[in-house]
Amino acid sequence: MEKELKIAVIGGGSSYTPELIEGFIKRAKELPVKTLYLVDIETGKEKLEIIYQLTKRMIAKTGLDIEVYKTLDRREAIKDADFVITQIRVGGLKARAMDERIPLKYGVIGQETTGPGGFAKALRTIPVLLGICKDIEALAPEAWLINFTNPVSIVTEMIHRYSTVKTIGLCNVPISMINNVAKIYDIDSSRVRIDFVGLNHMVYGKKVYIDGEDATAEVLKGLVEGKSMNMKNIKDLNWDAGFISALGMLPCPYHRYFYLRDEMLEEEIKALEEKGSRAEQVMKLEESLFKLYQDPNLDRKPKELEERGGAYYSDAAVSLVSAIYNDKGEIHTVNILNKGGTPDLSEDVVLETNAMIYRSGAKALSAGRLPETVKGLIQAVKAYEVLTVEAGISGNYNTAIMALLANPLVPSYKVAKDILDDIIAANTKYLPQFSKDKNTARGE
């Protein structure tokens, strides 16, 4: 008899959840989901109820026999689960707005996953995810944790270092890049393959293949001619033809923060003055989305969700769950330990790369040596990520300073210290590990 699966979604009240539900519905024939738990916290109770009702309508429309539950007790949801999916935002969008605004005070990029903004998000998230992992270890030790929580690379790194939970980190950027290439050629995305290597939100397409033929040069030519290779939440600034020619690879949208730093900083400052931070824009978008979700006649994922930046989320998440459950041996782009990925990073760190997915887990496909043109940047960002994990676990002020200084977007010690002090002050209730009693090196 086919095993009936229990799925727990931590952060079930997220506006992204309808994407996930759509994915389970689309793959119902290959994924026998019997029980689906949507989990959130007290402050997310109202949104959880709205998502719960929409989920029930979506499933009822299909006639699938899936029992849906909502709960504020994550242990109830995790107990005996086969898969746990994490998509949490500690502190909500208000905390994200602080992450975006604080660095800008000091002339530094303010972005939710990259640079000091991503650092702040990681510090808030690490203790919470570690607690979730402890619950999985105790209540569902055989479960797979599919982590979508940003910053994915840092969070997945922490799980591997401080937990025994089986985990794979996932992001929709690689699948979005594949789909964008398919759009350029007006073909089905199944005909496109990209050899990815790097880190989450710092991943490069080394080679692009269409129907098995190398199409890298053509795709790069299309990119410099202004064809979009972007995410909904990143300003579309065209790449310079000379830069793309020199790079010789497909950059991801988040590379703009490193290679077009001045332009992106100017754009962020301008946007902040004219329409608020991206978080504040998303708050308005989410408000309209949840109004849509409350419509008792809505029984599908609304098209408007794509404006949220979550396009292809369900394809990435649920196809990975299916590949594990069905032992497919498919190629997915995932965040896993660097065992066989590239010799230019330690084997015990997490990278984002192509891997074969089996029931036993993910096996990295060799990406070979990192090109010299990007090796130093990737290694620097990985050092920053490892130090951020240690700072998030220990609450050590000096480790946190050195983590920020390792990030290529932070220009000096003074700026790092000013930003860190502001982050700690603004996030006091989320960062108990950074108590004044514990740290005596702040110069206070």
Q: What is the 3-state secondary structure (H, E, C) of 108-148?
A: CCCCCCCCHHHHHHHHHHHHHHHHHHHHHHHHCCCCEEEEC
Instruction: Mention every residue, 6+ apart, whose C-beta is less than 8 A from residue 300.
Output: 22, 58, 61
* Best CA proximity match to 266, nearest among 418, 106, 112, 107: 107
d(CA 74, CA 63): 27
CA contacts within 13 A on the Cβ side of 231: 21
How far apart are alpha carbons 63 and 131 in whole angstroms? 36
Q: What is the rounded distance in angstroms from the CA atom of residue 342 to the CA atom of residue 366?
A: 6
Torsion of CA 381, 383, 389, 394, to 10 degrees: -140
- In angstroms, how far is CA 126 from the centroid of its own chain? 14
CA angle, residues 311, 312, 314, in degrees to nearest 5: 115
What SS3 string covers 147-195?
ECCCCHHHHHHHHHHHCCCEEEECCCHHHHHHHHHHHHHCCCHHHEEEE
Q: Which of 121, 60, 119 is nearest to 93 (CA)?
A: 121
Whether the bond between 151 and the residue before it is cis, its omega within 30 degrees of 0, is yes
254 is catalytic: yes
Please report the sign of the dihedral spanned by the C-alpha atoms of residue 332, residue 335, residue 339, residue 340: positive
Residue reference for tokens 């982050």:
423
Active-site residue (options: 254, 325, 384, 430): 254
Q: Give catalytic residues, as residue numbers.
A: 254
